[in-house]
């Protein structure tokens, strides 16, 4: 169940991942420190800490093969490091090697069974495996891990949102339950009003099928003026799905006041201009810059989606061969990209 921000089909792709990885890391580190007492300043401990920092830099740069090598060395030197196994699992997840990701994430949970974040990420990794293999047994494990994560830390809003969306999107045979999703929405709102609006917006769209109610929730998010960019990006994605480029652009510029250098803004600027069929030359520049400057990450707009928007730019400009090239590139990155396939097929038919 691999999430992408632009994809509204969730069991796999909307188990969100717009979360602050470093904060999760620190949370896990504090939990381990509290249980194990004062830190040891042995050479081995210093080396392990340095390796984790190196692996994080490699991970954030999208150099996943290097991060895996670093983390494999870390777990060899310190086989009891739940933190190293956690990051090894997350790194394998990014390259969709779900079997190795599961092995590492399960080890992190076995070593630190009370860590809410480790259970949450194990659930997400199970989701990727379930989606790829169409496995009911792994799908059931997803919910179990999300529930365990919430039970261990009821304040973990990100885990509650994962659980809400699973309950909304999964069929009842693997534990989907819209009433339980509604209960999570209420719990999230009590913990964090902005996250509560976002969670209720998702619920209104998926359970109630009422886009007007959902839009009201997303506009409440804008009115609340969040201090971080991620809530704005969810609002922007909603407006994109509703085909409202003007509202997208307004939200984008508001988000830019909070984090003007966030690379994701370029993707959304390109998408908004493409949707509006306006300033297509600028749209092309934004999308190309996003592709050139960002790694492929599960919690960021995918490169396949960026290629799809770029294809639409070229199609609107009458550059059919360039458009087809981008759609093919999108499908190579994500064979399940239905929009790219539909557009490529339409181009092929119109050429005859």
pLDDT tens per residue across span 96-152: 999 999 999 999 999 999 999 999 999 999 999 999 999 999 999 999 999 999 999
Domain that holds residue 65: 1-157
User: pLDDT over 70 for what percent of the chain?
Assistant: 87
Calpha distance 195→221 (Å, rounded): 8
Question: Is residue 167 included in any domain, yes or no?
Answer: no
In the chain, the largest separation of any two C-alpha atoms, in whole Å, equals 73
Calpha distance 52→30 (Å, rounded): 15
Q: What 3-state DSSP class applies to 97?
A: coil
User: pLDDT over 90 for what percent of the chain?
Assistant: 84
Question: Is residue 24 included in any domain, yes or no?
Answer: yes
Calpha distance 65→178 (Å, rounded): 39
- The CATH number assigned to the domain holding 136 equals 1.25.40.10
Q: CA angle 97-339-237, nearest 5°? A: 80
Those residues whose C-beta lies under 8 Å from the C-beta of residue 345, and which sit 6 or more positions away, are none
pLDDT tens per residue across span 7-63: 444 434 433 333 333 333 333 333 333 334 444 444 555 577 899 999 999 999 999
CA distances from 47 to 52, 70, 73, 173, 266 (A): 9, 11, 10, 47, 38
Domain tally for the chain?
Answer: 1
The pLDDT score that the predictor gives to residue 30 is: 36
- Average pLDDT of span 191-206: 97
The answer, yes or no, to whether residue 290 has pLDDT greater than 80, is yes
- The answer to whether 112 touches 147, Cβ cutoff 8 Å, is no
Question: Is residue 8 included in any domain, yes or no?
Answer: yes
Question: Is residue 182 included in any domain, yes or no?
Answer: no
Calpha distance 339→210 (Å, rounded): 23
- Check residue 271 and report its DSSP letter: H
Question: Is residue 80 included in any domain, yes or no?
Answer: yes
């Amino acid at each position: 169940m691999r999430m992408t921000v632009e994809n509204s089909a969730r069991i796999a792709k909307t188990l969100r991942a717009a979360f602050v990885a470093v904060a999760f890391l620190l949370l896990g580190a504090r939990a381990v420190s509290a249980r194990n007492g004062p830190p040891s300043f042995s050479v081995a401990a210093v080396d392990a800490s340095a390796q984790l920092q190196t692996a994080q830099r490699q991970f954030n740069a999208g150099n996943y093969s290097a991060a895996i090598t670093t983390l494999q060395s870390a777990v060899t030197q310190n086989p009891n490091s739940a933190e190293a196994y956690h990051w090894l699992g997350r790194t394998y997840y990014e390259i969709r090697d779900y079997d190795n990701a599961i092995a590492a994430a399960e080890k992190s949970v076995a070593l630190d069974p009370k860590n809410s974040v480790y259970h949450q990420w194990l659930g997400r990794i199970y989701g990727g495996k379930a989606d790829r293999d169409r496995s009911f047994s792994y799908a059931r494990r997803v919910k179990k891990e999300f529930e365990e994560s919430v039970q261990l830390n009821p304040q973990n809003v990100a885990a509650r949102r994962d659980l809400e969306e699973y309950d909304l999107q999964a069929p009842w045979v693997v534990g989907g339950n819209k009433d339980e999703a509604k209960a999570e929405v209420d719990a999230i709102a009590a913990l964090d009003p902005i996250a509560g609006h976002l969670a209720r917006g998702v619920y209104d769209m998926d359970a109630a099928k009422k886009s007007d109610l959902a839009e009201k929730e997303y506009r409440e998010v804008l009115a609340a003026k969040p201090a971080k960019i991620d809530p704005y990006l969810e609002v922007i994605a909603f407006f994109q799905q509703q085909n409202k480029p003007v509202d997208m652009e307004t939200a984008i510029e508001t988000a830019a006041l909070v984090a003007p250098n966030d690379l994701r803004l370029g993707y959304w600027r390109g998408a908004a201009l493409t949707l509006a069929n306006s300033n297509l030359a600028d749209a092309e520049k934004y999308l190309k810059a996003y592709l050139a400057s960002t790694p492929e990450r599960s919690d960021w707009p995918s490169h396949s989606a960026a290629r799809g928007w770029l294809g639409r730019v070229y199609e609107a400009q009458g550059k059919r061969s360039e458009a087809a090239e981008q759609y093919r590139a999108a499908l190579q990155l994500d064979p399940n990209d239905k929009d790219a396939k539909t557009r490529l097929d339409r181009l092929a038919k119109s050429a005859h």
